[in-house]
Chain A
């Protein structure tokens, strides 16, 4: 069969052109920019100055730490919760599966800005969250005004938004598992919690890894939530790397410095993805 040799290139050309211009070029350009600073109205090469400046920048370290804390707490809590819910929804005892699945997935279709704003209202001092806690005799919490609780607020909001999304991924994987293994585990006298950790989780490992990497990449870039829910505060307690990139780039217009922070995120994504693959690969 003879086809024109240039044919596939014609089909892929629009995508490649756009990709080169709006993805590849910016990636390299910001890398170059991270070694430059504005001097006399022009960007000039200043070596590692942006990176050495990072080392002594308290807010950067705070942003790095906050992003790390949110990542380390939020991702495992959400993944575990999503697994538990998926496991429950997969139970043969359950009816109304469709209803529960849709309900849990609903938060995942809301826009990031909309849900962040919604939570910023729910979590105010006089907001409904504290009113509900009051019914249970719990004192009002300064969700947005206290450095510790502000981080908790971000974590709670993100968990609300993303758990159902991950649950659906896990549910699909669970439905493809065979029942035999569970029945064998029953015979061995395994209880439900043992079955969950020793049968379900190991079998879902590739999917859990996939979901964890997606969430990790997302969390490292966290921006919409701190921008709209806590504005990075109080006292930079919810400043994230994403938000700090934005502030340096578009509040202080220090493009070189912002690019250096962006490349720290690139590096972190690379390292964490590598370790997540390695860590889960070793165990099997």
Chain B
């Protein structure tokens, strides 16, 4: 379409529309469709709460149990008795928090070097990091296991935290943001005699808070949800993370669905609260800042 045609089109399109009636029908259609999908999205969460507060059998009745019950404490106690809930929850929180802090240090310094310095091998390093994102995680799983096993590091926090500290996607995400930071400010600080580490920590990083927050959420979700690696890297119940412990519950021959649903709830609710509180950061973090 030519520019002229386009201008013309815009001009005509601004003429008052005679579509009032069909708009109402469209609105009804739109809201019913979105309403239906909202119910589909939310219902499983509701069902999770129903399950966590009722006896095991109540999830399989007809007509269904639609009201939260009074078995919350019982299910919680039973769950605690089967998986040492306090310890497992602590493991998940500890591993995720330490991971986020250290990974942010590792990835932000790397991203800074890749965005604000010229050096030999820079492009090769960056390309290799990007390409490695295409390699399925499972292709590294077995050597990682052997490595940890050889150094007697299986079943330790070290094994859970360290292998994924250099996370190429986080480096990529941070680098995009560092690129926009004015290099003149860094040079001015250098002229003032500020040390390089100080420049990075007190001048560059403070203005990168939104990007760091997005990266932090991304890294946190990755670690909190991680299943395959903790499954193979931990052997004792004391070192299990929440997903590993939850998964072990449904491997039993007699399953108490009340406590399973309680476990699912405990793994889910903190993240949802966190998400609702920090929506914008959360969405941009999980999509890798593709969306602001």
Q: Name A residues whose Cβ lies closer than 8 Å to a Cβ of B.
A: 1, 3-5, 7-9, 11-12, 14-16, 18-19, 21-27, 29-31, 33, 85, 88-89, 91, 93-94, 99-100, 102-115, 117-122, 124, 126-128, 131-132, 134, 160, 164-165, 168-169, 171-172, 180, 183-184, 186-187, 210, 217, 220-221, 223-224, 227-228, 242, 245-246, 249-250, 255, 258-259, 262-263, 265-266, 269-270, 273
Contacts and interface: CB of A to CB of B under 8 A. Distances in A.
Nearest to A171: B291
A254 to B, nearest CB: 10
Sorted nearest first, the 5 A-B pairs with minimum C-beta distance are: A15-B110, A183-B13, A8-B117, A26-B140, A29-B143
B227 A224 contact: yes
A109 B273 CA distance: 10
Contacts of A122: 44, 47
The listed residue with most A CB atoms (<10 A of its CB), out of B27, B200, B243, B263, is B243
A102 B246 CA distance: 26
Given A1-B190, A12-B114, A265 B41 contact: no
Contacts, number: 281
By secondary structure, the B interface counts as helix
Contacts of A131: 62-64
A91 B271 contact: no
A180 B9 contact: yes
The listed residue with most A CB atoms (<10 A of its CB), out of B42, B134, B141, B243, is B141
Given A88-B30, A134-B62, A7 B166 contact: no
B93 to A, nearest CB: 13
Given A9-B119, A22-B164, A221-B136, A93 B23 contact: yes
A38 B144 CA distance: 18
B286 A108 contact: yes
26 contacts: A8-B119, A18-B162, A19-B129, A19-B132, A22-B163, A23-B140, A24-B128, A29-B143, A30-B141, A31-B139, A93-B27, A106-B275, A109-B271, A111-B225, A111-B268, A114-B246, A114-B268, A117-B260, A117-B263, A117-B264, A122-B44, A126-B60, A131-B63, A172-B290, A255-B142, A266-B136
Interface of B: 1, 5-6, 9-10, 12-13, 23, 26-27, 30-31, 33-34, 37-38, 40-42, 44-45, 47-48, 51, 59-60, 62-64, 105-107, 109-110, 112-114, 117-119, 122, 125, 128-129, 132, 134-147, 162-166, 168, 171, 187, 190, 196, 200, 221, 224-225, 227-228, 231-232, 242-244, 246-247, 249-250, 257, 260-261, 263-264, 267-268, 271-272, 275-276, 279, 282-283, 286-287, 290-292
Nearest to B105: A14
B142 A25 contact: no
A8 B13 CA distance: 55
A259 B272 contact: no
Nearest to B66: A128
A3 B196 contact: yes
By secondary structure, the A interface counts as helix
